[in-house]
Amino acid sequence: MIYAILGLGVLGFVFGVSLSLASKKFFVKLDPREEAVIKALPGSNCGACGFPGCVGFARAIIRGDALTNACTAGGADVTRNVSSIMGVEAVIKEKEVAGIMCKGGKKEARERFRYMGVNDCKAAILIAGGNKSCTYACLGLGTCERVCPYDAIRIDNNYLPVVDEEKCTGCTLCAVNCPKFIIKMLPISNKIHIRCNSLDKGAVTRKNCSVGCIVCKKCEKVCPLGAITIINNLAVIDPLKCDNCRKCVPECPTDTIEDYYDGEPKYASLMEKLLDESKLKTAVG
């Protein structure tokens, strides 16, 4: 019995010495800046930077594989702090926010059938691509609302998402989780949105949705800067050219184009806008 105890003791000593020597031999000295960068990041681990979480992003910065302004969730403050830690100039990018490129809610877009399944957009598209006649339309089941870690999206009474630009950090989680790809990240200064995602021909879009782009090209013709072009049966705005002049907004015959200016109401759909205006008239009258 005593020999067994002594044997175990000797083995424990040998293994302990071996581990001690190995830890010294293979010790990797950590860059003190890494911990500082990790603390400066928001810790949301959203992945919008393109790296696996905030720790992965911090290590990429230390290696020189990532820019100090790649954290969209942290914004300008995080960019300044991380740049200061790394001893480089802070290059501040304009904030991007989620834009909902669909205006066809329950009132505007036709349904092919009544969906009675799981209240999730990803589940709904498994049944014939979803219940909307327009195969590009928002299904309005709130997947984007649930994945947003900042409470920046809500689903309105017309089953369309509304984005709170103040809360939105541009983390892109809503965009990557939208099975219809209707959420686009846009510069916050871009206030003119063509809220349609359909690539169908105009006649088909008109049949499926009352507020869809019918490719009439009126917006393209009236734009003085050439910021609007027709691509695959859909009017598209180049945010780098658009100066928010609003000239295209009243020209759209289907009210597909919407402007979002600070201090003005933001509506997810035409129906929500009409209801709000009706309440206002009733109150004034």
pLDDT tens per residue across span 45-70: 888 888 888 989 889 988 889 888 98
| Residues 39 and 180 reside in one and the same domain | no
Q: Which two tokens stand for residue 244?
A: 């928010």
| Residues 109 and 248 reside in one and the same domain | yes
Per-residue model confidence (pLDDT) at position 48: 83
Contact, 71 vs 79, CB < 8 A? yes
- Residue 91 domain-assigned? no
CA distances from 165 to 3, 100, 120, 216, 231 (A): 73, 12, 23, 30, 27
Interatomic CA distance for residues 269 and 285, integer angstroms: 25
From 86, 111, 127, give the residue that closes a domain: 86
Q: Is residue 278 over pLDDT 70? A: no
- Residue 49 domain-assigned? yes
- Residue 131 domain-assigned? yes
Q: Where are the beta strands (DSSP E) in the chain?
A: 96-100, 153-155, 161-163, 183-187, 192-194, 228-231, 234-237, 257-259
CATH number at residue 54: 1.10.15.40
Q: Is residue 268 over pLDDT 90? A: no
| Residues 142 and 203 reside in one and the same domain | yes
Per-residue model confidence (pLDDT) at position 227: 95
Residue whose structure tokens are 């597909």: 256
| Residues 47 and 144 reside in one and the same domain | no
| Residues 222 and 200 reside in one and the same domain | yes
- Residue 64 domain-assigned? yes
| Residues 75 and 151 reside in one and the same domain | no
- Which of 6-15, 69-78, 107-116, 188-197 is least confident? 6-15
From 86, 106, 127, give the residue that closes a domain: 86
227: number of CA atoms within 13 Å, CB side?
A: 19
Percent of the chain with pLDDT over 70: 81
pLDDT tens per residue across span 174-198: 999 999 999 999 999 898 999 999 9
To the nearest 10°, the Cα dihedral for 269, 272, 273, 277? 170
Q: Is residue 26 over pLDDT 80? A: no
CA 21, 22, 26, 31 torsion-angle sign: negative
| Residues 169 and 208 reside in one and the same domain | yes
| Residues 136 and 234 reside in one and the same domain | yes
Instruction: Tell me the average pLDDT of the chain.
Output: 85
Quick one: how many helices (H) and strands (E) in the chain?
A: 10, 8
- Residue 119 domain-assigned? yes
Contact, 216 vs 196, CB < 8 A? no
Interatomic CA distance for residues 105 and 274, integer angstroms: 14
From 46, 68, 86, give the residue that closes a domain: 86
Residue 285's pLDDT band (cuts 50, 70, 90): low
Residue 28 CB neighbour total at 10 angstroms: 5
DSSP string over 127-138 = TTT-SBSSTTS-
- Residue 5 domain-assigned? no
| Residues 101 and 82 reside in one and the same domain | no
Domain that holds residue 73: 32-86
Q: Which residues contact 138 (CB under 8 A, 6 or more apart)?
A: 100, 102, 104, 105, 132, 159, 160, 161, 180, 182, 197
- Residue 282 domain-assigned? no
| Residues 189 and 136 reside in one and the same domain | yes
Residue 242 CB neighbour total at 10 angstroms: 20
CA 252, 278, 104, 186 torsion-angle sign: positive
| Residues 214 and 249 reside in one and the same domain | yes
Mean pLDDT value of segment 76-89: 90
Q: Is residue 279 over pLDDT 80? A: no
| Residues 70 and 137 reside in one and the same domain | no
- Residue 258 domain-assigned? yes
Mean pLDDT value of segment 86-93: 89
CATH number at residue 119: 3.30.70.20
pLDDT tens per residue across span 232-250: 999 999 988 999 998 999 9
- Counted domains in the chain: 2
Q: Model-level pTM?
A: 0.74
Residue 263's pLDDT band (cuts 50, 70, 90): very low
